[in-house]
Amino acid sequence: MANSAEYPNLQRRRLLQAIGAASMAAGVPEVLAATASPRGGAGWPAWEILAGSSLSNDGRMIDRSASDLRTTSEGQSYALFFALVCNDQAQFDRILGWTVDNLAGGDMSKRLPAWLWGRDDEGRWRVLDDNPASDSDLWLAYTLIEAGRLWRRPALLEIAKGMLAQVCEREIVDLPGLGPMLLPGAQGFVEEDYWRLNPSYLPMPLLRRFATVDPRSPWPAIARNTLRMLQDTAPKGFAPDWTAWRPSGFFTDPVKGAMGSYDAIRVYLWAGMTDPRDPVFKPTLAALHGPLARLRAQATMGERVDTRLGSETGIGPYGFTAAVLPYLQSQGESVLAAKLRTTLPDVARLRADPPAYYSHNLLLFGSGWFDRRYRFRADGQLRPSWA
């Protein structure tokens, strides 16, 4: 695998040609990079700043907060989603092309992307760990489904269907006593007598959308089991980063313990962005009542919380604040949410500070939703402001 600044564009050109040919065959005019719609990103400075500092010309999202300048499938999936929210097809195609070429061996419909790519000890740029990460797989598949619908590019939907078939085969297991559930990855999360799970890997809008694409799939059951997981693992109303299951029920993850922090913050984000008409909306927020009481009292989000005791330590970075904006807004705390919105870094600060990969992505998700740049319908469909 070559350095991203040097790798050939042949596979990407073939990918885009194939997408275009398939769409034309279906009778739908295909819009490729050369004829992309006006750049929607021009109206979203926070995304422009992250893309300008961390997105390479050929579509690689670089985590500059990491010393090895790595790229993860998570970063690629988030970038692809934000390009769609901005209605930027040229940028979308670059990100997709790099992901397919470098993480999925040239065909993401047949091979789930590796989670980690970077420079090895000998200075070569390549896949460093080919285990897929299921949260990224879901976001990539979802974004392809919605891009195919919104931009009338049916070939993108076919790629997504291929991904979801692989997820069902490699990353979903039937847990005794619970039913189907998504593992965090294809390998490494099944122990002798228990299974490790990550609650933040299961955004409800994505599960709803997958269920409409394939009604015979396990996604409706996974949605029900996700609600049970949140209810059973948050005794004080705070979600853990990780949990585990054995036939007797959920229990504290033996590896990560009962801590809720940088993973769990996304659980509140996804819960807040879920459409209020979704039947799990209210019970999910009721299960996750801990941050609401904390924010009402102190207007800050702790960096770490012991989910068994409800005790918090530290103050979360600005990404944590952005992540709870939808959570607050969806529970009627509009004044508090608006107040917290004013504490987030402005454009000048975002430009001046070193790139903060994770906080900046949380900022884009949380503030982007709060500012109505996008919404999710009850069936999971994306509603970007440009549409």
Would you please indicate which residues are annotated as catalytic (active-site) residues?
74, 135
User: Within 10 Å of residue 363's Cβ, how many Cβ atoms?
Assistant: 26
Compute the radius of gyration of the chain from its Cα atoms: 20
Residue from 72, 113, 46 nearest 365 by CA: 46
Contact 188, 144 (CB under 8 A): no
The residues pairing with 376 across neighbouring beta strands, listed in sequence order, are 382
**Can you read off the two tokens belonging to residue 140?**
């990539």
Indicate left, alpha or beta for 268 from its phi (over 0: left) and psi (-120 to 50: alpha).
Answer: alpha
> Is the Cβ–Cβ distance between 373 and 47 less than 8 Å?
no
Q: Distance between CA atoms of 93 and 79, rounded to whole angstroms?
A: 11
What SS3 class is residue 33?
helix
> Rounded to an integer, what distance in angstroms lies between the CA atom of residue 79 and that of residue 95?
7
Burial 258-281 (b: 16+ CB within 10 A, else e): bbbbbbbbbbbbbbbbbbeebebb
